Structures are given as structure tokens and as C-alpha cells.
Amino acid sequence: MDKPSILVADDHPLLLKGLVDELLAKNYNVVAQATTGLQALEAIMDKTPCIAILDIEMPLFSGMEILAKAKKEGLKTKFIILTSHKEEDFIYKARELGIDGYLLKEEPISEIEKCIQKVQKGETYFSNTFKEILETAINPQLQKLKLLSPSERTILRMVAQSLTSKEIAGQLLISFRTVQKHRSNIIHKLDINIGEEQLDRWAQRYRTLILSL
């Protein structure tokens, strides 16, 4: 299989140069480089590389925002995101957006090359660290969220949007006491070892999962 055309984007010039040099040394066809999200998006629209390797956080557009915009335009470029974030919310969002590869920045070039090869074949490739988090943290939480009633899901989504119990009661035209009862039921069904006052923090942690309900 021929090696794919690649765009690389990172807002740290030294990291960008290091990765590009590594890829060129492996005889990959690096067709463009970028240090901002806007530059990356414009280059992707112009050159339509087979694969774009993007830093998750860049000025103007993040790696995930670039992916969403490219998909909206119907581009066939596949996306590999490089990140230092290991939070469940980021990983779930990456999966839901349909990211083709999701790697930690500290991965060796051999791992990046393995990811490129898998993605080129139409497969999805996540670092082992992220696979473990998906299997041990995210997927179990999703199964628990399915146990909630429609009313409980609605209230949990509003909690995740930082609404207070009083605001939720006002918007849903129910009593404050009813909201508090629902919150207690949610904690019990999710089997999470927290008090009602900490549900808000937990909901923020899993905000993307909850808002997808």
C-alpha cells in the first residue's frame, strides 16, 4: 500500500518540526504543515490530504473543531488527534465525532506510524491508554445512564448544563422537592459514591456523555 499524503498541525514549532522530520525520515508524503487551526483547515480544504494529524488544542480552531468542519464539507480526509488529555469526556467526544485515530503526544513514532497504517486501511486506532479508559470508565457509565427514566435523564442533562435545582424546577414547572428527589434517584441508580451536592461536579465531568442522552 502506498504511503498516504499527510498534513501535520501543531502550534508548538519544535514539536511540529520534530514530527514532520520523523515522518519524512520514514518516507511519508507530508504535503502541508500548520501552526494554527485556521491554517490547518485551509490547507485541508485546499490539498485534501489522505490523513491530517492535528494537535487537539491550537489557536483559532481546535483539532476537534477542524474535524467537525471538514466532515460538514464532506471531505474524505481521515483525522488523527494528538493530545495530552486523558479525561473521559475528551475521549468520549473523540469517539462520538468519529475521529479515526487518537494518540497521546508522548507516543513514539512507531505508535504514530502504526496508527497511520490502521487509519489508512479504514480502521479506528486509539492508544492503549484510551482503550482502557473506554472499557473501564466510559462504557460502564453509559450502561448506567441507560437505567435512568426519561425524567431523570432530562434533569441530569440540565444539571450538566450547570442549572441549579431551583432553576430546573422553574423551567420544568415542578417543585424544588421533586427535583431533589430525582437527584437522589439518579445518584442511587448510577451507583456513584457522592452526595447530592457533588452531583453537579460529576455531571460536569461526564458532560458530553450526559448531553448525548
**What CATH number is given to the structural domain containing 200?**
1.10.10.10
Statement: residue 57 has pLDDT above 80: yes
Which residue carries 479508559 as its cell? 133
- Better-predicted residue by pLDDT, 24 or 131: 24
Residues 25 and 99 in one domain: yes
Q: Give pLDDT, residue 129.
A: 73
Q: Give pLDDT, residue 15.
A: 87
Query: What share of the chain in percent tops pLDDT 90?
Result: 38
141 within a domain of the structure (yes/no) = no
Domain-ending residue, one of 136, 155, 182: 136
Residues 189 and 170 in one domain: yes
| Backbone region of residue 173 per phi and psi (left: phi > 0; alpha: psi in -120 to 50; beta: other values) | left
Residues 153 and 202 in one domain: yes
Statement: residue 38 has pLDDT above 90: yes
Residues 132 and 150 in one domain: no
| Cell reading at 206 | 461526564
pLDDT digits (tens, 9 = 90+) for 164-205: 999 999 999 999 999 999 998 888 888 776 666 678 877 877
pLDDT digits (tens, 9 = 90+) for 127-172: 777 666 666 666 667 777 878 899 999 999 899 888 999 999 999 9
Domain that holds residue 194: 146-211
Domain count, the chain: 2
Query: What share of the chain in percent tops pLDDT 70?
Result: 88
Residues 90 and 169 in one domain: no
How many other C-beta atoms can be found within 10 angstroms of the C-beta atom of residue 143? 9
